[in-house]
Every structure is written in structure tokens, then in C-alpha cells.
Structure 1
């Protein structure tokens, strides 16, 4: 297990560096991420370079037996860069520039920024590629985190080049974007601009392509720096820290280009869905490279600084969250940061070594955790899960677009399905539709509005070849260009589902929040009460939300019907048999009770089992990697697992082997 933190010695006098290393050894630190925001120290001016301080720090860490995850320092250009080169600055949708004074104020498309960043990376890589302390490379930092989309002239030029590469001709672009609508036909690529401020709705296909372009742009910045590092002779793994279900970057398309997945995770300690949401994020990043361990690159030892109120973690919560990461595939646990800052925006953010020193709960927890991690045996690689939960970034961008029948909280819906599986102790891979294959028994694809051809083929094959597929609602509506296909809706999956579509019949959603804001409907979100449609499912009843679609069950059995709402008396859940497999369609999104009922049926039919076949008591989480099972009690009282003879106190955890041995 790797254990450590971001280390920012450039923010401290050299007199404390020796003490830092001594304290790191006391805490059990094995590795630190170094130099993430050090550009202004490494290059104080256009023709000035200072690596002496970094040489001393790296040598000092190496002498102390601490490895270095060396950063490229490109995440925040210093003021001299933007003063001399204003074309580096990013712009908002009005074309107004963002200024320096914070971080990530640069345009990733700017040729000047890329030239300066490339020179910085080249000098760092050539100097340290063969240093024995360097065990890994940290490219940039949280790419796109604070400024994921920008609309300046550099982005304009790069977007045009991206479109030429994607479409080849303007005619192909016009066809994909439906440019005949509102007289938007283009005569050349030079007439295309980013989707800047407009008087009314912007072309949804253009907006979708721009989100693809921005995700690809951030990835290309990573690849540029990784190529420079490799050209310098470096052989260590190269990564960049992701942010779980970050809505602006298609991490599934990034993963093949990254040696090891690393993730930053800062759950809200006061959130009632905190445990579920963290577990979902762990499984999402683990699934980006199935079968391969990942690293938790940032978490907080205690409180953060950037929420309106920043509560502390409860006693034992840090160890429980760390165990959750290990159980779901992490081979390293890091924090932001090593020593708490004394100035700047993040000075109230907790750290491994707090301002209050070593007579603190935080320091005791850090040392105890380091000792516990050092005592762990070699861990098995993550194993495949029996259930695939389909989550697709391009669909996320499209399904939450404007001008739809209703507003969809895609991430919230996916997490709700995940929660029903998580409560039952079932391991889940979170994957794109094209990654669903025979290793799974059950695949769930909620709100898969946009479907690419490879995903269609994979889901069809999965159901036809013996898997249990559950889809819907608002699924199979548009192609990859956000265009309706000939023949209406459910044209790709309808035959295998055995249903035909008549109408969406939207309901006022239970929550809108961020999804509504992204779709331009924030004012509606604040004022609209939820609307539900009752669903009769055998002898039980639950509430359907978001949609109550009108369907024809042409070649499928009706398992549930709408008992009220706009589609009363019509099918709500259908099932079509396919040999040993089946394909289910849900014309509505079940509430929590409904999800529990539906998931129970799907698991029973597919044969997908919980970890160790145990039904965990409330508040207890089960996770499995290889033959290692992690059991965590996130509850407030003692939890007993009689199948294993275990009793865990609040926030306690245990590791057992699959045969039940401790």
C-alpha cells in the first residue's frame, strides 16, 4: 500500500523540510506528490529557472526512504505568463477573459500555453526521469476542475480543427447538427464558433460536440505532457488525478491513455447518502480499468474549506472511508495535503500534519492509519462484479440537455439504482454500454437516451446470449449526434425488449437541482413539487417518477402496470424472455421502495449474488476484491454479522478472506 499526501515544500521555509521528513516517517508515509503548483518557483520569469530547491527536497525525501510522485507543475501558470501572453487566458461564454489570481485560468487550447507548459515539462522530465526517488509522474492536476469549459479564440480555432477531423466536410457537419433548422447551415468550418452566449436555445448537437471537444482537449493536454515525459526516458507510471463522476470529462475515453487510475474524493460528512456516493465513486474509477488496482490520490483527513459549512469527520470515519477504498480496489491512499497551509484559499483545509500539531485527533488518526496500512498483506487485484451498471458520459451530456420533455438528474438516477444494489451487498462494475459483456449476469441501463452503435450491439448481444438486461425509461431516443432515428423511439432495443413506444408522458421530477441548472431550468426546479404515478407490481405498489411512458407490450409479458397517473392501466414494467436470459423495460423510474422490489427480482432471475451470499444489516457495507472481503459498519450502533461471527462497533471495519478467515 502506498500512503502519503500532496507535499508543498515550496510554500514553507527550508528549515522545516527535515522535520517534514522525520514526521512523514513517523506517520508511515511511503510516497508524496511533489511540485503540483510549483511553476512560479521553478520558473520565476521568462528566462529564469530554479531547480536547486527541488533537487534538495527530492534528495532529502529519497534519503528518508520516501518515494516521489513528481508533478509537471502546469496546473497554474504564474502571473508573468498571463501578463506577457494574454492569449493564454481562458474566456467565458461572453468572450470575457478570466484573470490570474486563482488557478486554472488558462485555456488548454492556447498554443502559447502549450508551448510554455511543454518547455517546463521537458526540463522537469529530463532532470528527474532517472532519479531513484521518482516512482510515478503526476500530470497537471484535476484537469478541467474549476474551468471545464471555455470559449476563447484559441478554443474557437481548436474546435474548428476538431470538427474537421471528426466530420471531414461541412456537409457532413451540417447533416449531423441538423443545420437546416433555424437557418444554421455552414459554408465553411471557419463560420463555426463555440456555443457562446445566445439569445435562446443553442443547437443541442453543437453543444454536445463542444462538450466532447473540451473533454478531448483536456485529454490531449495530458497526452502531450506524457509524451514529453516518455521522450525523456522515464519508465515510471504516468497518471493524472480524476474526480469520480466529474460531469465535464469522459474518463472512460481517457482511461486507455493513463497508466494507473488515480482519483480525488471529498464526500460531504453530513450527506445522508455519503456512504453510497463514495462507494459508487470507488466502483466507477475501479471500473475504468477493470481488474487493475487504482490509487485514492486525494481525500481529506478531516474538514475541507470550500463548502458553506465544513463539518469535521466523526471518530473512525477516516479509517472507514479508507477501508472502503481498499475494499473496492485501491492500492494507495493519499491526502491533500501533508502540512496544512498557512496562507491562501485552502488554509482551513485539513491536512495530515495540522497547524495544531501532533497533539491532535487528526495526527493520531494519521499515524494509526499508516501503521494499519503497513501491516496489510499483499492484496489481490480487483475482480469482476456480477452486475454491470451502465453509466455513459456522452449520454449524461445529452440526456440533461435543454428542450426535452422533462428534466433528468442522470447521476442521481444511476446512484439510486446503485444504492439498491449496494444495500444488498452486491458488487457492481460501472461501465459504458459497449463494455457490457458475458462476464456479467445482470446489466442495468437507466435513462440511456443517447445510444452509439457499439453500445446497441453489446446490449443486444448480452440479452440474447443469456444475460438479464433492464433498461428504461427515456432510453434509446437519439443517436450519437442527438438526432432521432428513422422509425421513432426504442428502434434499437425495442425488438429485443418486445415493446413499442407511444409517448413519454413526463412527470414533474422529485429533484432537479444541478441537472435543472445545466438544462437552464433552475427557476422551475425551485418551484415544482414532485409528481408520481403509482405502479402495481404483483401484490406490492410503489411510486414511479420522472416519466410514465405509454408503451405497447407487443412481444413481452407485463409484470407491472400503472395504477394512476397519465398512463394508468398501461404497462409499467415488461419482460421478454431470451432463452436463459431476458430483457426488461421500465417505463418509469421507481422510487426507493420500488427499486428494492425490482432489484430483488432482477438479482433472483440473473443469479447475481451478494458478497459471500450475505444480506448485510442496515449500515453495513460489504466489498470484495479477489478473495479479500471488506466489512464496514458505517452505522451509529453495533452491527452483528452472524454468518461470520463478527460484531463491529460504529465506524469499525474488518478484512476477512472469502472462506471467512480473518
Structure 2
């Protein structure tokens, strides 16, 4: 069995625990309660045919396990777990608290969330419970204890899966009970109401509070709420949701101290309600759900950026892809199907970047309910279908590449700082441009590096930065003095730092720092910005470097920084767009606009040259390449995103996917994948000892 690294509360003494499957975990959510028991035997037979090793069970089963208040019916779940164990399939058993039963909703409608207009959520949807509801917490923990005592010693149980996507539909609640919890949170964080008034600047619009009891949840108002209040409400919301996870975890830890515990994050696209870099410290293995969005022009970039973010939260160690789709989802209006081979490419993209498996929602595609057209491993068409054949093929592929399980992604030479709270701040603040998004410039820079074969570690602010030659801080408006000091010291010892516009401009309460932008970064960068001049949606401004700026420009004084690019048109003609200042043995640069694609290429290429960066392996454009290493060897993961023609990679070893030997140029079929177990002499030059796995 492979060992995964624990990120439990005792950060100084991380523990290990057995993985949920030999080799890479493969499977997904199994909801047999949706089907007659006569179907279960076919499920098991097809799971075995597909190579399924792991099933997530019980996520939405509360109402079928506790039929009425205190009346339990365990028979069907007993038989399911026994059946899975008899067939060698490990179980990630969910606490079914994501779905309060209808009898509970009827008896206690006040457990449901309330929207910003004061309307309480009715039963019939999903994740209807409020994280601040004491009544819900009491019933939920009773259910958790009952499940833990019933199945804690069952041999199928490998992992506890707490609730489901905590904070998805129930991210924000405005109930009266939540309002009281909000006031308690404020009282704990701030010593006095006048401290709050000062932090938020409540004198504006006459919002001065005389007592914490006057500070209500930010329900609907015809004008904007105070940004500081909204930012803190987001923090409170994340803490309240995390508090529910911790409460369930405490019961599980008491009853089953030997079983690891996790919950599934949702790290994809723009950050949501949870500060996952903090949540990652509370789980035994970081687990994530990821789904592609049809309106994303660079979906492969979102796959890699998300996976690198999750690995950064996991301290560079293993993590688990808990959910993604085999094909189309059901919630995007027009739900695009995945093309042939995309299932393998998408799944392997996560594994290449550190996941110890690939799990899907769900095993058998539902025929009823709100997600009946969400794809499954076994689609409506049954086993005689392209999707199931690709599922089975990928299960077989995972067995062939099993020697790579338990290895870790080689530490990159490029680090990027990214924080969930940036998105909260941008949503709370009416800034210069609504076109500014937390993930836009970070994803664009990440894509520009990784498409050139340069690995990037995406880390939360505060993570150690030793050993990185290039450090990117593209959108960090809340960067504190400690972060600035860490970056400055990194530059002094030889790192090349790039700071993006709208970084370091606010204090932790969302108040703008005076004296000129970019606030805390001014001295380090040797520049001063006096005004932001946002651009219209399709407006672009040319620079003398041959590329254009988009979204954002600034009236910038270069000070003692070198000007690398300046605008050549408009009111800012001659004003710097990109500067660089030498600090110690390194440099600190400032990017005052969002470069177009040509500009991103130019900026990234300059850093590749400046730091002497090399790709993971020599490769043609269109290939995505990552290296994982460990006691079992060095493994080069390659994905060809070009669907029209083969792409060539330079490597030496054995491709575990095809069984072909390679020595030099190795062609990967159009839309194909490879996992090359490298010969020692070929990987020695590029190999780097795996980073010590610690909690962030």
C-alpha cells in the first residue's frame, strides 16, 4: 500500500496512513440507493471489468439511513459495503450530512439557509442547511456518530468523506441565527466595536456602530455595503463552514482514530466561499473536485492551474482528485460532451501534478433527479458505449502506470503566490475595473510558463520560498508586510520577483493604503503609481516592446527602477508598463498592465532567459510535461493536447502506457498520453530531490 501524508492538526508531527487502493485510486461516487438491489450485481461486475478500486458511498443517504427521527435502517448499506469489500473495492464512506432528510426539514425549517432578501430556502434542493444552525449541528453530529459506530471497523472502510462540497450551495447564509454567530465572530476577532469602526472606515456614509449588536449580516441593500464588512463576512463564512467540518471530524476521530478524514474542496475557476489554504491544514489528505467550464478559452490551463494550486495547499505532497466528469456536466446551460480521449487526458493531467488517483461523479448515470444528464462512468447507454470503453481503458492504463503511485512532483524553480481571499476582496470592492479577476493574470502567467515545459508551484502567501529562482506575485492586493519582506529577501539572495498590478494596495481590512500604489511594494520595486486608468473591454494600448496592454494601465513613476517597456500611444504614451529593479543578487519587477498573449510570451521568455530555466524535458509545442519522482524511480508524464498530429518529446526509458521503449525523440500520438519510466542516466540531470512534505 502507498502512504499518503497527513495534514492533521498536529503540524509538527505529520503522520502517514495507507492509501485507499494499491496503486492509483480509481472509481467514484457510488449511489446504489438510486437503483433496485437487483442492479447491484451488475454494478460490481462492471466495476471489476473497468478496474475500479475505490467507491465513495453514502453522500446523499441520510434520509434512507435515518427514516424518521432516531429510527435507523442500516440493512441496505450493510449489504453494499459487504459487497464492495468482497470484491476488493475500498470505500470512502461519506457522512451523509450534505442532505438533511425531509422529515428534519419539516420539523425544523429554521435549519435552512436564508438569502440576502430574507427568504428561507425551501426543501427540495441541495445543501440547504445553514452552517450556523445549532439544531442542524446537533442532528448532524448524532448521525455522524451513528455511522461511525456502525461502520468504523468495517474492512471496506478506507477513508472518511465528510459531507460534500461544503459551502457550495450553502456558502452564505443571512438568517438571524447566522447574524448572532457573525456578531460572536466579530467580538472574538476585535477587542472593541471602535476597533471595527476604525478597521472598516465606517465614518463613510455614516455607518458608525455603537455596539457589535448593531452589526447585522449584509442582507440586500440598494447600494453597496462597506467593503471591509463584506471581506470580514467572507472570512466569517469560511470559518463557519470549516467549523462544521471540524465538528464532524472530532466525532469521527473519537470513534475511529485509525481512519483518515477528508472533505472535498472545489478548487477550480474563481475561488468561492472557502479559504482552502487554511482548510488544507485540517484534513488528512487534501481532496479536490474539478469540472471544466465551457466558457473557459483555456480549459487545459484551468486543469493544470487547479492541480498545481491543490498540490501547493498539500505542501507539495500527494492529494486526491475526488470528483470530475467522464463527459458532460448538467449545470452549464449548454453542456459540452468530452471528445474521444479527453477523459484520459483530463484525468492524467491531475495525476501528473500529484493526485494519487482519479475519481468521478458518478458511477452509474442517474435516470431521475436534477443531475440525470450529468455523465457517469456507466452512462445511460450502458457498457456498450464509448464512455464506458474509455473508462475501462483508463482503469487499465492506471494499472500499467502503478509504479508511479506514491511518487511526488519534482519541486519547480518557479513559484507563484495565489490567495483565495483576493477573490473575496475583488467581489467586496467596487474597484477601478470589474474586468479584473483574481485568477486571470495568475492563470495567464501559469499557462505561459507551463506551455513551454516550465513547471510552476502555486503556493499560498506565507509558504516557504527557498530554492525558487523566479517568484510570481501577480494579483495580491492584500499582501502584508511579511509577504513583502519574504519576497525582498528572496530577491536579495538571487531570485527574480515579478509583482503584478493591484498588488499590496490594501491593508487586511480592505482599506486602501495611501501614498501611491502599489502600496506595500513601492519601496521594494522602486516605483510609484499615482492613478489607475482602466481600459474598456476591447481596448488595448501598444507598447514599444511589440505587445499590447489590456484591462488595466497606470500612471507610473519609475523612480530608480529600469524601464523595460513603455506605452507608445494614448494619454500614457512614454509611461512605463514594465519595470525592473536590482536587489542584491536578484531583481524585482513590476507589471503595470495585463499583457496580451504576445506580451505574456515575451515576459515569460525573459524570465526563462534571466533565470536560466529549462523545461522539464525537451518538447514540442502542444505537449504538457510533468515529472514525478520517488523511491520507485522517475516518471515523465506527457499529454498531447494537439488533436490533429503527433508531438515529439525527448526522453529515454519505457513508456508504461504503450509499452514502447524510447531513446531520444519519442512521438506521442495526437490527443495521446505517455508515462515514461526514465532510465536513471537520462533523468539524473533533471532530477531534484522531492520537497519535504509538510502542511502549509
TM-score by length of 1: 0.93
User: How far, CA to CA, are the matches of 1:338 and 1:440 in structure 2?
Assistant: 41
User: How far, CA to CA, are the matches of 1:56 and 1:403 in structure 2?
Assistant: 55
User: How far, CA to CA, are the matches of 2:276 and 2:71 in structure 1?
Assistant: 36
Match of 1:267 in 2: 292
User: How far, CA to CA, are the matches of 1:366 and 1:41 in structure 2?
Assistant: 30
User: How far, CA to CA, are the matches of 1:410 and 1:490 in structure 2?
Assistant: 16
User: How far, CA to CA, are the matches of 2:440 and 2:513 in structure 1?
Assistant: 27
Q: Deviations over 1:128-153 (max 9, x none)?
A: 12221100010010111123212111
User: How far, CA to CA, are the matches of 1:95 and 1:439 in structure 2?
Assistant: 51
Q: Secondary structure at the match of 2:439?
A: helix
Q: Secondary structure at the match of 2:578?
A: strand
Aligned residues: 636
User: How far, CA to CA, are the matches of 2:493 and 2:520 in structure 1?
Assistant: 17
The answer to whether the 8 Å contact 2:491/2:584 transfers is: no
Q: Deviations over 1:341-392 (max 9, x none)?
A: 1211111121112222211111211111111111221431223211112211
Q: Secondary structure at the match of 1:144?
A: coil
Shift of 1:609: 2.5
Does 2:407 align with 1:399? no
Does 2:559 align with 1:531? no
User: How far, CA to CA, are the matches of 1:422 and 1:452 in structure 2?
Assistant: 28
> Which of 295, 302, 305 lines up with 1:277 in the alignment?
302
User: How far, CA to CA, are the matches of 1:501 and 1:132 in structure 2?
Assistant: 62
> Which of 357, 363, 382 lines up with 2:409 in the alignment?
382
Q: Secondary structure at the match of 2:277?
A: helix
User: How far, CA to CA, are the matches of 1:11 and 1:597 in structure 2?
Assistant: 54
The answer to whether the 8 Å contact 1:477/1:489 transfers is: yes
Match of 1:356 in 2: 381
User: How far, CA to CA, are the matches of 1:400 and 1:9 in structure 2?
Assistant: 40
Shift of 1:422: 1.9
The answer to whether the 8 Å contact 1:105/1:147 transfers is: yes
List aligned pairs for 1:188-587, cutoff 5 A. 188-245=211-268, 246-268=271-293, 271-376=296-401, 377-379=403-405, 380-407=407-434, 408-435=436-463, 437-508=465-536, 510=537, 530-537=538-545, 541-587=546-592
Shift of 1:271: 4.8
Shift of 1:470: 0.5
Shift of 1:625: 2.0
> Which of 605, 613, 617 lines up with 1:608 in the alignment?
613
- In structure 2, do the counterparts of structure 1 residues 400 and 270 end up closer, same or farther at CA, with 3 Å as the change threshold? closer
Does 2:640 align with 1:637? no
The answer to whether the 8 Å contact 1:137/1:238 transfers is: yes
Shift of 1:296: 1.1
Greater Cα offset, 394-403 or 83-92: 394-403
> Which of 602, 616, 625 lines up with 1:622 in the alignment?
625
User: How far, CA to CA, are the matches of 1:441 and 1:290 in structure 2?
Assistant: 18
Q: Secondary structure at the match of 2:303?
A: helix
Q: Secondary structure at the match of 1:230?
A: helix
Q: Deviations over 1:193-235 (max 9, x none)?
A: 1111112111000000011111111111111111110010332
User: How far, CA to CA, are the matches of 1:571 and 1:439 in structure 2?
Assistant: 30
User: How far, CA to CA, are the matches of 1:434 and 1:550 in structure 2?
Assistant: 30
User: How far, CA to CA, are the matches of 2:635 and 2:221 in structure 1?
Assistant: 54
Greater Cα offset, 643-652 or 156-165: 643-652
The answer to whether the 8 Å contact 1:460/1:493 transfers is: no
User: How far, CA to CA, are the matches of 1:168 and 1:406 in structure 2?
Assistant: 35
User: How far, CA to CA, are the matches of 1:480 and 1:566 in structure 2?
Assistant: 33
Match of 1:518 in 2: none
Q: Secondary structure at the match of 1:504?
A: strand
User: How far, CA to CA, are the matches of 1:145 and 1:93 in structure 2?
Assistant: 16
Q: Secondary structure at the match of 1:223?
A: helix
The answer to whether the 8 Å contact 1:434/1:459 transfers is: no
RMSD of equivalent CA atoms: 1.7
User: How far, CA to CA, are the matches of 2:129 and 2:427 in structure 1?
Assistant: 27
Q: Deviations over 1:381-435 (max 9, x none)?
A: 2232111122111122113433212221221222111111121111111112322
Greater Cα offset, 34-43 or 405-414: 405-414
User: How far, CA to CA, are the matches of 2:540 and 2:48 in structure 1?
Assistant: 57
Match of 2:67 in 1: 44
Match of 1:647 in 2: 667
- In structure 2, do the counterparts of structure 1 residues 184 and 268 end up closer, same or farther at CA, with 3 Å as the change threshold? closer
- In structure 2, do the counterparts of structure 1 residues 395 and 260 end up closer, same or farther at CA, with 3 Å as the change threshold? same
User: How far, CA to CA, are the matches of 1:193 and 1:35 in structure 2?
Assistant: 37
List aligned pairs for 1:8-27, cutoff 5 A. 8-27=31-50
In structure 1, stretches of 5+ residues that fail to align are 511-529
User: How far, CA to CA, are the matches of 1:389 and 1:463 in structure 2?
Assistant: 14
User: How far, CA to CA, are the matches of 2:495 and 2:562 in structure 1?
Assistant: 17
The answer to whether the 8 Å contact 1:500/1:553 transfers is: yes
The answer to whether the 8 Å contact 2:265/2:288 transfers is: yes
Q: Deviations over 1:307-327 (max 9, x none)?
A: 222222111111111221111
The answer to whether the 8 Å contact 1:107/1:154 transfers is: no
In structure 2, stretches of 5+ residues that fail to align are 1-23, 652-664, 684-696
User: How far, CA to CA, are the matches of 1:401 and 1:609 in structure 2?
Assistant: 40
The answer to whether the 8 Å contact 2:438/2:475 transfers is: yes
Match of 2:5 in 1: none
The answer to whether the 8 Å contact 2:324/2:360 transfers is: yes
Q: Deviations over 1:558-596 (max 9, x none)?
A: 111111133211111111112321000111111111010
